[in-house]
């Protein structure tokens, strides 16, 4: 047991170091701007005086490491600085949008995860059948389509030609839960289609890999019924790859959300990120990137830890 | 119920019954499923639904036939190893190769094929499709069809250039790290892990906000983001080769690192790298299209599929298919490359999974 804890703690520590390194990259990238931040914001035509003023206001007179520590300290207290475009607090811009994005991602995940697991296991069990081949071509097509293509097809057929669902996902904070689910149905379905395809293929590969191992063949040869082979022999070893697949795809969902939010004009953090990139509003871009990257790293970390904890060979070590 | 939808349903029913009678399970199940879907769609939306289904079936049959003849043609034309490989190639792979060939022709001969110039204004904005413009006009009245053809050149060309650059950097760094080992290897590995911890689209947005959205910075930024992935693969493939005896022999001969990388390791690592090139191209292509769709990729007036979708998206709310065509062009190319890569991987692995 102690070995297991040691491995998990080591992995967590490694994740924390990665997170810090990524925050340095995100902060440091802005330092690469030709000239500096104040110059970039004000443009070439600005007078020396206004540039100096903005520089003082942004704290650019301090050295980069000093500013990084101040920025990181602020982030830990939920203070991401001030937006350059709207002069508002970045945290207050991100807060409501972050919960919107989270809601959309969870909505999609709640449908996609069970669906993909079911389809993936079925495709693995009936591999090389017509079902397996059809899902193979179907999922390959879904993976290869850009998210905006899937989104617009759904809009065209389920919102315009047949007005069943709203094409735009404008939500307000005081909206009822069911109304919100209805408004978000199409963006959630877009992500479900793309993510299910990925997740299903990975589940299928993981299960097939497992079913090919000698101890499964042994179980079959000694006459254990099919369902028992799966439940008693395959499943305990399948948890690690399955957890891995789910976490990796949730991480993928986090990036996919950016394009989907733009297609459906949904007020989430991805939409904010794209707007801020266009406006070159660096504090907001940095904050959004940090949030996306942190979620991504945490989910990957969860995948690793889940795989370690659920591995019977590590749990019952002699 | 019109005669058209009735005859479609009847034809499907006959196929299903025949397949059932002759115990062709692989034919029966799909045709029964299609029959059920057609029945539901026709009951719900009448003849228009039946026409959509019939078109889809027609597209699938048509592309299978085209792929079949293309494969037959290639088998006749080619000799030796390639001929043998193609004889066992699945139809999906042949279809993929056909599509890639057609796209290359469109890209290479764009000025000859396209009826109008890339940014030539031909009619009124959002002009309807007619004899002059077979797909109608875009938001400025430029010919959609011509822009689609030029898009093959711009979007695909840019993606290929980016993938090549990423491969150049990724493989050379990977081979270098594998040969040198020690702290160089460790340092590069750690750096790559950190860069890979940031999702690619997010990282691309961050870097593009800093370096601006010119074509050059687009290529450099995306190549930089994909280099670590290629480094990883090359490093792991080359890691198995470096320990071989013939590498040791070459080292003892006193060959340089550059020679070892180029002449001893690279030829033996080529097969997985080529398959990886196809897959990475798809990811790069989708990322470029996504960024262009967001207005941060290839800039107007250059014709590009991603931005064409965004510029004409308003037409979708009037029930028009036209804006979806560039998006479909993106999807079709990615699917085709995936089909070909799938087949190559299957052949090289020799696994019967």
Q: What is the ipTM of this complex?
A: 0.85
Of all residues in chain B, the one with the smallest CA distance to A18 is B194
> Do both A137 and A281 map to the same domain?
yes
Residues of B in contact with A195 (CB under 8 A): none
Q: Which of A76, A107, A123 is the last residue of a domain?
A: A76
Across residues B89-100, what is the average pLDDT? 89
Domain membership of residue A81 (yes or no) is: no
Interface test with A, best of B202, B220, B314, B339 (most A CBs within 10 A): B202
Interface test with A, best of B33, B197, B213 (most A CBs within 10 A): B197
Min Cα–Cα distance to chain B from A4, Å:
23
Min Cα–Cα distance to chain A from B67, Å:
15
Partner-chain contact B293 A278, CB within 8 Å: no
User: What is the rounded CA–CA span in Å between residue B112 and residue B131?
Assistant: 19
Is the backbone of residue A224 left (phi > 0), alpha (psi -120 to 50) or beta?
beta
Domain membership of residue A212 (yes or no) is: yes
CB B127 within 8 A of CB B141: yes
Partner-chain contact B309 A161, CB within 8 Å: no
Partner-chain contact B331 A141, CB within 8 Å: yes
A18, A33, A145 ranked by CB distance to B193: nearest: A18
Partner-chain contact A146 B30, CB within 8 Å: no
Q: Which of A53, A76, A99 is the last residue of a domain?
A: A76
Domain membership of residue A82 (yes or no) is: no
A33, A127, A273 ranked by CB distance to B205: nearest: A273
Interface test with B, best of A144, A166, A212 (most B CBs within 10 A): A144
> Do both A69 and A105 map to the same domain?
no
Domain membership of residue A205 (yes or no) is: yes
**Per-residue pLDDT band at B351 (split at 50, 70, 90):** very low
B30, B202, B321 ranked by CB distance to A293: nearest: B202
CATH numbers and ranges of domains, chain B? 3-87 (no CATH), 144-349 (1.10.3720.10)
> Do both A137 and A272 map to the same domain?
yes
Q: Which of A12, A44, A76 is the last residue of a domain?
A: A76
pLDDT at res. A35? 66
> Do both A72 and A106 map to the same domain?
no
Interface test with B, best of A84, A128, A149, A164 (most B CBs within 10 A): A149
> Do both A9 and A124 map to the same domain?
no
pLDDT of A79-103, one tens digit each? 877 787 777 888 888 888 888 898 8
Average per-residue pLDDT for chain A: 83
pTM: predicted TM-score of the whole model, two decimal places: 0.87
Domain membership of residue A83 (yes or no) is: no
A145, A259, A293 ranked by CB distance to B293: nearest: A259
Q: What is the pLDDT along chain A (318 residues), one digit of tens a residue?
A: 677 788 888 888 988 998 999 999 888 888 777 666 777 777 767 777 777 777 777 777 777 788 888 888 888 887 877 787 777 888 888 888 888 898 898 899 999 989 988 888 888 888 777 788 888 888 888 888 888 899 998 988 888 887 888 877 777 777 778 888 888 899 999 999 988 888 888 888 888 888 888 888 898 899 988 778 877 888 778 778 788 888 888 888 888 889 999 999 888 899 999 988 888 888 889 899 999 999 888 888 888 888 888 777 766 665
Residues of A in contact with B34 (CB under 8 A): none
Domain membership of residue A189 (yes or no) is: yes
> Do both A103 and A188 map to the same domain?
yes
**Per-residue pLDDT band at B166 (split at 50, 70, 90):** very high
pLDDT of B303-318, one tens digit each? 889 888 888 888 888 8
Of all residues in chain A, the one with the smallest CA distance to B326 is A149
> Do both A137 and A234 map to the same domain?
yes
Partner-chain contact B210 A29, CB within 8 Å: yes
> Do both A130 and A52 map to the same domain?
no
A32, A152, A280 ranked by CB distance to B316: nearest: A152
Residues of A in contact with B198 (CB under 8 A): 22, 25-26, 289, 293, 296
CB A310 within 8 A of CB A239: yes
CATH of the domain at A171: 1.10.3720.10
A127, A148, A255 ranked by CB distance to B201: nearest: A255
* Domain membership of residue A35 as a residue range: 2-76
> Do both A59 and A96 map to the same domain?
no
Q: What DSSP string runs through chain A?
A: -HHHHHHHHHHHHHHHHHHHHHHHHHHHHHHTSSS-HHHHHH-TT--HHHHHHHHHHHTTTS-HHHHHHHHHHHHHTT---B-TTT-SBHHHHHHHHHHHHHHHHHHHHHHHHHHHHHHHHHHHHTTTSHHHHHHHHHHHHHHHS-HHHHHHHHHIIIIIIS--S-SS----TT--HHHHHHHTHHHHHHHHHHHHHHHHHHHHHHHHHHHTSHHHHHHHHTT--HHHIIIIIIHHHHHHHHHHHHHHHHHHHHHHHHHHHHHTT--SHHHHHHHHHHHT-HHHHHHHHHHHHHHHHHHHHHHHHHHHHT-HHHHT--
CB B120 within 8 A of CB B301: no
Of all residues in chain A, the one with the smallest CA distance to B45 is A162
Partner-chain contact A296 B199, CB within 8 Å: yes
């Amino acid at each position: 047991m102690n070995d297991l804890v040691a491995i998990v703690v080591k992995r967590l520590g490694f994740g924390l170091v990665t997170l810090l390194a990524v925050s340095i990259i995100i902060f440091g990238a802005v330092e690469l701007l030709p000239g500096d931040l104040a110059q970039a914001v004000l443009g070439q035509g600005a007078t020396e005086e206004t540039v100096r003023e903005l520089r003082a206001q942004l704290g650019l007179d301090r050295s980069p490491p000093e500013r990084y520590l101040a920025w990181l300290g602020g982030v830990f207290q939920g203070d991401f600085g001030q937006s350059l475009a709207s002069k508002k607090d970045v945290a207050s811009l991100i807060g409501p949008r972050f919960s919107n994005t989270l809601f959309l991602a969870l909505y999609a995940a709640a449908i996609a995860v069970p669906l993909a697991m079911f389809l993936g296991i079925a495709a693995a069990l009936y591999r090389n059948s017509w079902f397996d081949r059809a899902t193979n071509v179907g999922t390959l097509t879904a993976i290869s389509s850009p998210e905006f293509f899937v989104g617009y097809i759904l809009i065209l057929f389920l919102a315009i030609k047949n007005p069943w669902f709203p094409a735009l996902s404008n939500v307000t904070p005081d909206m009822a839960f069911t109304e919100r689910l209805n408004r978000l149905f199409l963006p959630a379905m877009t992500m479900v289609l793309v993510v299910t395809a990925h997740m299903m293929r990975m589940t299928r590969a993981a299960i097939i890999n497992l079913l090919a191992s000698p101890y499964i063949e042994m179980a079959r040869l000694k006459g254990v019924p099919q369902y028992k082979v799966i439940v008693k022999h395959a499943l305990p070893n399948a948890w690690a790859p399955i957890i891995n697949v789910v976490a990796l795809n949730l991480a993928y969902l986090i990036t996919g959300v950016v394009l989907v939010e733009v297609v459906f004009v949904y007020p989430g953090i991805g939409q904010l990120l794209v707007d801020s990139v266009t406006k070159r509003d660096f504090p907001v871009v940095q904050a959004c990137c940090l949030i996306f990257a942190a979620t991504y790293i945490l989910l990957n970390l969860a995948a690793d830890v889940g795989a370690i904890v659920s591995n019977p060979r590590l749990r019952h070590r002699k | 119920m019109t005669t058209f939808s009735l005859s479609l349903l009847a034809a499907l029913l006959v196929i299903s019954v025949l397949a059932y009678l002759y115990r062709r399970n692989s034919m029966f199940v799909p045709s029964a499923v299609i029959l059920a879907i057609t029945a539901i769609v026709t009951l719900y939306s009448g003849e228009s639904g039946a026409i959509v289904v019939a078109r889809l079936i027609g597209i699938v049959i048509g592309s299978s036939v085209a792929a079949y003849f293309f494969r037959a043609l290639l088998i006749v034309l080619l000799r030796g190893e390639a001929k043998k490989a193609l004889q066992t190639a699945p139809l999906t792979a042949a279809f993929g190769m056909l599509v890639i060939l057609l796209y290359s022709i469109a890209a290479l001969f764009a000025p000859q094929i396209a009826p109008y110039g890339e940014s030539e204004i031909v009619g009124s904005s959002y002009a309807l499709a007619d004899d002059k413009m077979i797909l109608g006009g875009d938001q400025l009245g430029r010919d959609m069809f011509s822009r689609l053809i030029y898009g093959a050149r711009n979007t695909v060309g840019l993606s290929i250039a980016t993938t090549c650059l990423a491969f150049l950097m990724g493989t050379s760094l990977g081979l270098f790290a594998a040969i040198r080992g020690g702290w160089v290897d460790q340092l590069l590995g750690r750096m790559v892990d950190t860069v890979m911890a940031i999702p690619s689209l997010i990282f691309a947005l961050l870097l593009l906000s800093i370096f601006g959205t010119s074509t050059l910075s687009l290529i450099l930024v995306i190549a930089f983001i994909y280099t670590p992935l290629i480094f990883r693969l090359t490093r792991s493939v080359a890691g198995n080769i470096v320990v071989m005896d013939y590498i040791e022999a070459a080292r003892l001969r006193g060959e340089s690192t550059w020679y070892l990388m180029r002449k001893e390791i690279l030829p033996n690592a080529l097969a997985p790298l080529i398959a990886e090139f196809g897959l990475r191209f798809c990811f790069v292509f989708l990322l470029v299209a996504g960024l262009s769709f967001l207005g941060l990729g290839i800039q107007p007036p250059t014709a590009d599929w991603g931005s064409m979708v965004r510029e004409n998206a308003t037409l979708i709310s009037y029930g028009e298919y036209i804006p979806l065509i560039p998006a479909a062009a993106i999807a079709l190319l990615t699917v085709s490359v995936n089909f070909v890569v799938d087949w190559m991987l299957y052949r090289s692995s020799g696994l019967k999974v």
